Each structure stands twice: as structure tokens, then as C-alpha cells.
Chains A and B, each alone.
Chain A
Amino acid sequence: MLKTLSDLVPNVFLAMLLAAAAIMAFATVNALFLVWLERKVSARMQRRYGPTVVGPFGMFQTLVDVVKLLSKQLISPKDIDKPLYHLAPIVVFVPVVLGLSLFPIDKSFALVDTNVGLVLVFAFAGMGFIAIFMAGWGSNNKYALLGAMRAVAQNIAYEIPLILAALAVTMIARSMRIADIVEAQGSFPYILVQPIGALIYYISAVAETNRAPFDIPEAESELVAGFHTEYSGMRFALFFLAEYTNMVIVSMVATSLFLGGYKGPLLPGPVWFFGKVYFLIFVMLWLRWTFPRLRFDQLMTFAWKVLIPLALANLLVTATVLKVMS
């Protein structure tokens, strides 16, 4: 039987505290690890060494960088929209932390278990771009504003195929509880049933996290650094943290929906779960360091003219097949 944190720790407040601590710790460590991984993978793909000096394989390099970022002076430009500018890094971070708590990492454990888990995840994920828009608008910088506008348009466009693809899975599993969906994938993961849906989901997920080749909100070759052009020091680090945590969340969703979550032979559940999650993240890194960036209008075209019709068709076919089979 699936156990949640509230089952293990009877005191509600204590449970909340514990959950928050666990998630924060995970998010931070995970971001540290992912940044290192990104640097290492990108380096090796480009036939460089990447970080090698601090720690084994340079693993503590990011830790040192965080210390550097923490110690940096926080620079705020003139004429910014102060509340928005200062709130944005926090707002971008909150929803991703919330989203992390909803995934069963093993047959018997999830931090929080609700019957609308999937809806919650997408709801939280959708809040991310509000923060990006706040950052872009508040910075009083045209590059940031352009980046923010792009981010909003992009997020809206890609949320649709993302949810449509997930919807097909919920139709098969007949549940929105993530644990149920994982359980429903008996001996074979849903990627075999829903290959196109999985692909659409994954592409949209990459776009949702604003990563290359869909990283037009930051597009460093055009917009300097996009929406976080004017952020430095720890505020910038928070955006970074959010981006990497976001990657984990979308990968966790993908793992749970299409790859059978914690299921797998021999090894224990969490190993399978995190193994799959990090494999998907690796693919994201791989994509980023392989492809050039799409142009903004091409990105929108791709969403509206390719992904959404495909996702709709996929949903339709799934529904028809389900109807016929039942």
C-alpha cells in the first residue's frame, strides 16, 4: 500500500516541515548535481574536459560557484519595478518546489498522494511563466521584456500539447492519481502504447522548461540573457535552480506517465525511478548541446501546426480505440 509522509509522521506541521526540508534539500543538491552534469556532458560532447579541479571529477565545482554567487553583490538596475523585480526569483522557485512532492518514488512511498496529482503538477508548472514575465517586465530592460513576452507565448503554446498528451494516458489509466497511473502500467510502460503521445509530451516538456532548442526566452545570442538579463548573484542562481528543478519535474512526470515510474526488474524502486528521471534529463542535455535554436515564429508554428494537431489526433485515436475495446 502506498504510504505518504502524513502516514509516517502523524503531526501535520511536523510533516509539512519535514517535507519542505526534504524538498529543498533535494532541489538544491539536484541542481548542484545537474549543473555539474550539464557542464560535464556538454564538455565531453564538445571534446573538452569540463570541471576537473574541485572534488572528484570536479563535482564540487558548482558548490564553489554557488558560494561565489552567494557572496556576490546584488545589483539592481535603476528604474526597475521593484516589487516585481524582487519577487520574481522567489515566485519562480515556489511552484517547482511544490510540484516535486507529488511523485511516488517507490511502490510504497510518496510525499503527498492526492487523486488529482497530475492536475496539480500541471497547475504548479503553469505558474512558472508568470514569474518569468514578472522578471522580464520588472527589469525595465528591452531584452528582458522581449524574453518575457516570448516565454509567455511559448509556455501557453506548449502547455496545450503537453496536457493533451498526458490526457491520453489518463484516459487509458482511468485515473489522475499519479500512483494509479504508474500502477496501471503493469508489465509494460505506456510509451509502448502511446509512442507518439510520449514524444509529444517530451518535446513539449523541453519547451516548457525553456531549454534548447526551445530556449528562446533566454536566447543568449539574440537577447543577451533574455528575461534574467538584469539578475545577478543569488537572484540569478534562483532562476537557475528553478530551471533545473523544473527539468526534474517534467522528467518525473514523463517517467511516471510513460516509463512506468519506479517499476523495473531486480533493482529497488527508487533506483529505477531516479534512473529513468536522470536518463530523461540526460537526453535533454544531449538535445541542448546538439541543436541550434529555433526562431520564435518557427517555435510557435511548430506548436500550433504540428504538435497540437498531432496531440489532438493522438487523443482522438486513443479515445476511439478505448471505446471500441471496452
Chain B
Amino acid sequence: MTSDLHKPGAALAAGTSADPWATPPADPDGETYYLNMGPQHPSMHGVLRLLLELRGEEIVKCEPIIGYAHRAHEKMAENRNYMMFLPNTSRVDYLSGMIYNIAYCQAVEKMLAIEVPERAEHIRVIVCELNRVSSHLLWFGTFLLDLGGITPFLYSFDDREQILSILDRVTGSRLTYCYGRFGGVTEDVDKKFLDETTAFLARLRGRMAEYHALVTDNVIFRSRCEGVGVIDRETAIEYGVTGPTLRAAGVPYDVRRAEPYGIYDRFEFDIPTASGADNLARYYVRVAEMEQSMRIIEQAIAKIPDGPIMPEKALKRFKPDVGEHYFAVESARGQFGIYIVSDGSDVPFRIKLRTPSFSNLACMPDVLRGTMVADTIAILGSIDIVLPEVDR
């Protein structure tokens, strides 16, 4: 299609130009041109850069360029002991930081075969699911923002703010939680927390009617979503797409069911799927997932026992045995896997974070081909990537 020179960095490698960021020349027949979307663009989620080759408004080729938010979490992990990596985890994906934080704790617990007290397990489920709802609410808002609807964004942020306040009451942070500890959690929840959570669930259910009237049924919204950005089952396997994006392709794959972790096997919940595999299907799956998360929270609140929140003997400094462990959880965006290799010292030999957004974003070139500029944003929004999670 184009010569090698059009690839970013190719000029630098060939020594022809000192400026790797220079706009690549348009192709010789003048039919297409390049558009750099991002890394600074109002609706790029984070600092993603999409190098688009356009014919008019139609996308001929798209190349996502990532790495602008690379913070070397994996390298940091190899330089700190297990405990000291804890605050990093919630910063990998700051929108569902709790899930990541707890997942890391659970992974290490599995390595060390630590028993987690029942109460702590229930608390973990509640806060993780609250976090999932908050992540989906944020997605809901930003997706609509990408489509040009500003008001739903603020409504959903209003609701999300409630969750953040509820979590703030127990974890002390609003976004980047460091709530989990190996063996339990830092703070116990009180009755007020549970009551607030219950009240919030009722409130959110009430709000859902408004959301549906304002957004779901809206004919403009539907026309922007239906049939746009199809990521079907084959593409999903091809790219290892997971999470709501995969479930929207009709595959009922959810790590909470496939490989139950924590105490998820004790809860009743459905795995919402849709068949369209398009933006609307993803929207549908996420909205339905919020409902399922609320169901789980209700069950957990009903069942939560009294007791300690940490094992009697708290871990201080420990050296896991030599070995490797893969631990997967269902984050708000898909399968989040932690691959820990231990060499027997108190510092991890290797921690690989398999983040869902990385795989989900990888399919963009395929999905975007032939769509329009406006759809780029819509599809990107519907996949719900978090760039820091892609770059780690």
C-alpha cells in the first residue's frame, strides 16, 4: 500500500530524516492522507496515538502506537519485594484499581497458600464489584461523551461519585486503592458502609430507568452503535480479546465462572452475552453486567460473616518457594492475568501483567478498516481501553 518510509520511525532507521515525528508523506497517487489522532486528542482514552490513513473520512489503515504511558511496572516489580509492589497494582488500571490490587494479593496468597478470613473474602467481593460498577459507569459516561452526548456523562459521574465516596469511607482513597494486603484487607467495614452500599444499589437501579430513556432507546445513539465495530468470535480468538467485548460476541467467557477465584463460586449471577458483537452489543453487555454486579454485592452483603479481616499472623517479610504461578481475574475490561515467577528470594523474579486492554486494543487495525473517522472514537470508546493498562 505504501512504502516503508510511511511507517513511523522508518525514516529514522533509514537515516533519511532526523525527525521521527514528521508527518509521513501522503502516498504518491494522492488519494489518501495521514491523520495522527493522539497522543493528545480530546477523546483518546489516555495517550493513545492512532496513525490513520484516510481516504476522505474513510479509514484505509490504522496503526495504534502505544507506549506513551509506559511506567515500567514490570521492571519495578523486579526491584521491590512482594509487599512493596502493592501500591503499583492499582495504578496499572486506575479505573478498576481495586480489582487489580486484590488480584495481586490473591495471586501472592495462592503462591504462599495463605488462608483468607471469610469476612475479608466477602469484603473483597463487595469492593471489587463496586469498583466494577464504577468502572462501567465511567465507561458509560465516556462512551456517550465520545458519541457527543455530554449530559449522560455527568449523570453517570454523579452515580460513580457515590461509589467512590463509599469506597473512600473504607479504603481511604478514591481512585488508586491500596486496600488489599496478603491475607486480607486493611480496614474493616462497618454497618454504615453496608447500609450505604445497599442504598446506593437501590438508587442506581432507579437511575437505570433514566439512563435507558435518555440513552439506550435513543434513536441517534442506536444508529451510532448498531452494526458498528464488529468484533466477532473469530476476531476475538485471533486477538485474545476478553471481557465484555468478547461476551458481546456471544461467548459466555468470564473468569469468575471459568476459573472461580476468591469466593465467586458461591454467588449466583449470570454472564450477560449479546450476539451483535457491535458497539450496541458491548453497551448492552456492560449495562447488564452492572446489574449482575449489583446482584453479587447484594448476596455478599447478605452473607457477610463477622470475624477477623486479616489472618492471625500477619505476613511481614517472606520468601516464596521457587516456582511460577498464573492467576487470572475478571477485571472490568477482561481477563487480567498475573504471572509471577519466584526464584526463592523476597523479590519477584518476574511479574508479567497480562492486561486485557492490551489484547483488546490490538484488534483495532482490523476493526477500524473501512469505518469512518467518527466511528474510530465510538469503537475505541465501546471497547473501553485504559491506556496506562495497555502500556503498564
Contacts and interface: CB of A to CB of B under 8 A. Distances in A.
A163 to B, nearest CB: 25
Interface in B19-56: 33, 35, 41-43
A295 B375 CA distance: 8
Interface string A8-47: 0000000000000000000000000000000000100111
Contact of B43 (A46, A221, A291): A221
Interface residues of A, number: 28
Contacts of A296: 57, 372-374
A292 B144 contact: yes
Contact of B218 (A143, A146, A223, A291): A291
A213 B148 contact: yes
A238 B155 CA distance: 32
A99 to B, nearest CB: 27
Interface in B116-175: 144-151, 154-155, 158
B335 interface: no
A221 B144 CA distance: 10
B72 interface: no
A42 B155 CA distance: 12
A291 B221 CA distance: 8
Given A216-B374, A222-B374, A292 B158 contact: no
Interface string A210-223: 00110110011111
B146 to A, nearest CB: 5
Nearest to B158: A47
B19 to A, nearest CB: 15
Contacts of B35: 142-143, 146
Contact of B148 (A45, A293, A297): A293
A45 B42 CA distance: 23
A224 B42 CA distance: 6
Interface residues of B, number: 31
B151 A295 contact: no
A215 B374 CA distance: 12
B16 interface: no
A221 B220 contact: no
Given A47-B158, A295-B224, A290 B374 contact: no
B288 to A, nearest CB: 20
Contacts of B150: 42, 46, 289
A48 B147 contact: no
Which of the listed residues A46, A219, A291 has the most CB atoms from chain B within 10 Å of its own CB?
Answer: A291
A232 B223 CA distance: 34
Contacts of A297: 372
B214 interface: yes
Given A222-B376, A295-B374, A48 B148 contact: no
A48 B154 contact: yes
B57 A292 contact: no
A292 B155 contact: no
Given A46-B150, A222-B376, A290 B214 contact: yes
Describe B's contact surface by its main secondary structure.
helix
Interface string B351-392: 000000000000000000000111111100000000000000
Given A146-B57, A222-B373, A293 B33 contact: no
A291 B149 contact: yes
B155 to A, nearest CB: 7
B224 A298 contact: yes
A63 B374 CA distance: 34
A298 B43 contact: no
B148 A219 contact: yes
A46 B155 contact: yes
B207 to A, nearest CB: 12
Contact of A213 (B214, B220, B372): B220
Nearest to A297: B372
Nearest to A143: B35
Nearest to A294: B220
Given A215-B148, A220-B42, A222-B43, A294 B154 contact: no
Contacts of A146: 35, 57, 373
Contacts of B144: 292
Given A213-B148, A216-B374, A294 B224 contact: yes
A136 to B, nearest CB: 14
B377 A292 contact: no
Interface string A221-254: 1111000000000000000000000000000000
A302 to B, nearest CB: 9
B33 A292 contact: no
Contact of B221 (A219, A222, A289, A292): A292
Contacts of A45: 151
Contacts of A292: 144, 147-149, 215, 218, 220-221, 224
Contact of A290 (B57, B151, B154, B223): B151
A35 to B, nearest CB: 16
Interface in B183-241: 214-215, 218, 220-221, 223-224
Nearest to B150: A289
Contacts of A222: 43, 373-374, 376-377
A152 to B, nearest CB: 13
Nearest to B371: A295
B146 A291 contact: no
A291 B218 CA distance: 8
A292 B220 CA distance: 7
A220 B214 CA distance: 21
B372 A295 contact: yes
Nearest to B381: A221
Interface string A182-216: 00000000000000000000000000000011011
Nearest to B223: A298
21 contacts: A42-B151, A45-B151, A47-B155, A142-B35, A146-B373, A212-B148, A219-B148, A219-B374, A220-B42, A220-B43, A222-B43, A289-B150, A290-B149, A291-B149, A292-B147, A293-B147, A293-B224, A295-B374, A296-B372, A296-B373, A297-B372
Given A47-B158, A222-B377, A297-B372, 7 more contacts: A47-B155, A219-B148, A221-B43, A292-B144, A292-B148, A292-B220, A293-B148
Interface of A: 42, 45-48, 142-143, 146, 212-213, 215-216, 219-224, 289-298
Interface of B: 33, 35, 41-43, 57, 144-151, 154-155, 158, 214-215, 218, 220-221, 223-224, 372-378
The 9 closest A-B pairs by CB, nearest first: A293-B148, A292-B149, A292-B147, A46-B154, A221-B43, A295-B374, A292-B148, A221-B146, A289-B151
